[in-house]
Amino acid sequence: MKTLTIKTFAFCSLVALASCGDSSAESNEVEISMNFSAVVGGKDADCNTDYVVGTKDTTAKLADARFFISNIELKSSDGTWESVALNTNDWQYNDVALLDFEDGKDACKDSGTPEMNKSIIATVRSGTYTDLRFSLGVPFELNHIDNATAPAPLNTPGMFWVWQGGYKFARVDWLVTGGEVPRFNTHLGSTGCESAAKTTPPQARCKNPNMPTFELPISDFKNISVAFDLETLIAKTDMSANTIDSPPGCMSSPMDGSDCEGIFDTLGMSFTSGTCEDNCSGQTAFTAAN
């Protein structure tokens, strides 16, 4: 028995310790951290500062700042894309994560929540990666579920319209001083979703998905830093005005017109089709630190 044990150990050492239950079997995957920030003027945005934003230099306070991302991938040095597996927690489910930059205080007290989340924890196959790719939004398969019974973070208040329309992929709201409306909202989400009723989920994908996908170069894939520039997002938008007979701000609806066009352009999307133009390569709202 002693001789057999020695031979088995030697075989495992030479061929594959992983086959003998060694912890090195997990070395094929590495944990990564993706840190996100929401900034105005290059600094972390907050709910208590008067910002001057938009094409008319409108004074406004940030009233909400949250968004979902999904379909996260890393580009290998050989040009292939590797899917990233998200850990499951209150902010991450399946391949969807919610980032939350408001604290429910000051100008954010009406729609915000005290909890915040600025990072994503995940694993990926060990390798060398040069680029990050992700979608801003919730995939169709999860976008029209019942948010009242959905797992976290898909049950978060304030980030859902109705079953027909689904989730607000991004929510960036402002309290405006001296504008036509006191609150300018940016709610990005799918439109042109057809079903028997607003409380019925659609069976086919929405006409305007409004779910852009971004590619960003990175240097350290284990510690990724991404900034969402809220000032840039609305830099082409007149926040002091509002399209006649439309909700305040941009709700992604075709009736929103000039309230949305500049925002969609900043995200690299066509407002008419709700899809990326040239793979959303012209977007300027998201950057990665290198």
pLDDT at residue 224 greater than cutoff 90: yes
Q: Which helix (H) or strand (E) holds 81?
A: strand 81-83
* Within a domain: 1: no
Domain range enclosing 264? 30-288
Q: What pLDDT digit, counting tens, does each position of 35-79 carry?
A: 999 999 999 999 999 999 999 999 999 999 999 999 999 999 999
122: nearest Cα among 82, 159, 152: 82
Fill in the amino acid letter for 48: N
* Within a domain: 50: yes
Q: What pLDDT digit, counting tens, does each position of 161-183 carry?
A: 999 999 999 999 999 999 899 99
User: What mean pLDDT, rounded, does the chain reach?
Assistant: 91
Q: By percentage, how much of the chain surpasses pLDDT 70?
A: 90
Which residue is it, tokens 């900043």? Answer: 266
81: nearest Cα among 35, 119, 134: 134
pLDDT at residue 14 greater than cutoff 70: no
Burial tier of 203 (Cβ tally within 10 Å: 0-12, 13-18, 19+) = exposed
Are 190 and 143 in contact by the 8 Å Cβ rule? The answer is: yes
Number of domains making up the chain: 1
* Within a domain: 67: yes
Q: What pLDDT digit, counting tens, does each position of 238-283 carry?
A: 999 999 988 999 999 999 999 999 999 999 999 999 999 999 999 9
* Within a domain: 236: yes
Q: What pLDDT digit, counting tens, does each position of 103-112 carry?
A: 999 999 999 9
Cis-peptide, bond into residue 153, ω within 30° of zero: yes
* Within a domain: 55: yes
pLDDT at residue 144 greater than cutoff 90: yes
Which residue is it, tokens 């939004």? Answer: 137
* Within a domain: 3: no
What is the full DSSP assignment across 184-235? Answer: EEEEE--B----SSTTS--SS--SB----EEEEE-S-TTEEEEEEEHHHHTT
* Within a domain: 21: no
Reduced to 3 states (helix: H, G, I; strand: E, B; else coil), residue 125 is strand
* Within a domain: 17: no
Q: Once rounded to an integer, what is the mean pLDDT over residues 197-210?
A: 95
pLDDT band at 22 (very low <50, low <70, confident <90, very high): very low
